[in-house]
Structure formats: C-alpha cells, structure tokens
Amino acid sequence: MNIRTKDLNLLTILLVVGEELNLTRASQRLGLSQPALSHALTRLREQFGDPLFVRGQRGLIATRRLEDLLPEVRGLLERAAALYGGVGELDLAKLERKVVIAATAYFEARAIPAFMKMAQDVAPGLRLETRSLAGGFPKSDLESGDLDIAVAAYFRDLPAGFRQRTIFTDRFVCVCAEDNRYLASKQGSRDYLAARHLQIEVPPGVFAPVDQYLQSKKKHREIAVRVGNFLTPAQILCSTDYLLTCPRSLAVRYAEAFPLAVCELPFALPPIDTLMVWHEKNQNDPFQAWLRSAIAEIGVAGRPTRR
C-alpha cells in the first residue's frame, strides 16, 4: 500500500460521522455542506473498500469494518494532535535519562556535587556522566548529541548553531599556606614575582589569564610545579612556599579544608566568566531547558559568600 495515495484529512470526517451516525449533525460539527460531506464519504468508501455506513430506520448504521476502524482512527488523531501540540508537562520524578556534560575540573568541583544532591531529590532517575575538556570547543560532539552541554571559561567565538549562557563570574586571587613568607611581605608585584608558583595545568591552546597579563607587562613568574588536577594543589601548598593563583571560589574551598590563606593579587585581572554552551537543536526541549536552568542556578549559588 502506498500511503501517499491516501487522504489522511478524511480520517477526521470518518471519526465524526462514525460518532454521530447522523449526516446532518456531522455536517454541522465539521462545518461542511451536505454535498461536500457526501463526496468525502464516497472517497472514504473507496479508500477502505467498505460501505462503512448503511441506512437504517433511525439513521445510519456502522458496518463491522467501521466499528473496528473507529478506535484506531481516534487514537491516531489523538497522537497527531499531541505531536503538533508539543510535549506534555515534564515529570522529573518519573524521568529516566542520562546526561553527558563536558566540563573543566574547576566547574565539576564547584557545581556537580550540589547539582547531583538536588537531582537526587527531584529527578532520582537522572544519570550523569562528565567528560573532561581537553582544550578546544567540542563542536561535533554537541552537534551529534554525544554531549548535552559543555561548560568552560575559555570558549570564544562560538560557531553558528550554538547558544551560550554565563552561569557564574569569578575573580582571581592567591592562595597559599598560612605560614607562607609571602603573607609577611608587602604582597606587591615584586613580592609576587619573586615567589615560586604552583599552576593548575590549563588545556592545550589555552593561556592562563595571569600569564597573559604578565606577558603584556614583559614580566615573568617562576612556575615551580604544574599539576593536572584540582585535588592535590591544596595539599602541596600546605607544605611549601608556593603561591597558587586561581578563581576565588576554588581558593575558598581549599582554605575551608586546609590551613591555607586567601589574599588579593597585587594587580587586577579581568574576571573569569564560565560559559554553558548547547546546540540550537536543544533550545526548546523541556528537559534540556530544566537542565540548563538548574545548572545555572547552582553555579550562582556556588559563588562563595564569605570574604
């Protein structure tokens, strides 16, 4: 059977006439004239190879074929209406879905624990997978749907077809051991440059903002050690004279867990904006909209309040 030869618009007429079993009431309900309705019924009989209706003493009588067709046609039209009417209300409690987020370790440390605590309560069927960003923009993975969203502070000049939202803004500070001799100094630029520094490794092709600034001033700091994660820096700082320049929210987390001090930089760096990026195809998806809103709210709430 070739569905292209069938007029699906006739199904609404079939349903109404089958429910009314009265041509006058059916024509009024459909807004069709009697001749137009009769013509439609002739086409329906041809398409289904059945009379569909026969005349009885009290009006029309449905054939057995029509009786079998009516629930199928009603269900088909209801599904079509739902298709064109959009999706229903999002039921997070019954949701069973996997989310894949590509992000920096900085974002994971700041937002993922709080996000999963919230999701455990409102969307217990949600499963989360995070992937580390290794530099660059994951364009193909977002386009294909392998990633739901990507979060980083270094995305620039996004290609067409993508949307973005700043989910939190932070500023850079220093963090070091409470007995670090730098704290006893004037904490000026000379003191900062004379110190030895710990650096959390940035993705390939990304230049740390502090080093960008120093390079613009033709200055240089000594990097004593580079680490590739966000877990060990605090432990290293506790037993050395190193300084770590990092976002303030991260420095505060370190200082809450270890005997570390947070202090201001001797120069001003631009604030760091962390962006959430998604593909245009997910813009109107109710679940994706909830996901983005939840992550943005948690990102803002993750901003440290103590000074």
The tens digit of pLDDT for each residue in 128-155 reads 999 988 667 899 999 999 999 999 887 8
Is residue 67 domain-resident? yes
Separation of alpha carbons 173 and 245, rounded Å: 6
Does residue 307 fall inside a structural domain?
A: no
State whether 77 and 120 are in the same domain: no
Domain count, the chain: 3
Q: What is the pTM of this model?
A: 0.65
In the chain, where does DSSP find H-type helix?
A: 10-20, 23-30, 34-48, 64-85, 105-122, 139-144, 189-194, 209-216, 233-238, 248-257, 286-301
pLDDT in tens, 43-74: 999 989 999 988 887 778 989 999 999 989 98
pLDDT at position 206 is: 66
Least confident of 41-45, 89-93, 173-177, 281-285: 89-93
- The answer to whether residues 150 and 78 belong to one domain is no
Torsion of CA 31, 34, 36, 37, to 10 degrees: 80
**Cβ neighbours of residue 125 closer than 8 Å, sequence gap 6 or more:** 94, 95, 96, 97
Domain residues for 198? 172-263
User: CB count, 10 Å around CB of 248?
Assistant: 20
In this predicted model, what pLDDT tens digit does every residue of 229-266 receive, in sequence order?
888 999 999 999 999 999 998 999 899 999 999 999 99
Maximum alpha-carbon separation in the chain: 107
* 292 Cβ contact list (under 8 Å, min separation 6): 149, 165, 276, 278
Measured torsion, CA atoms of residues 119, 290, 294, 158, in degrees rounded to the nearest 10: 130
CATH number of the domain enclosing 155: 3.40.190.10
* 276 in the same domain as 166: yes
User: Are 148 and 224 members of one domain?
Assistant: no
Residues 255 and 187 in one domain: yes
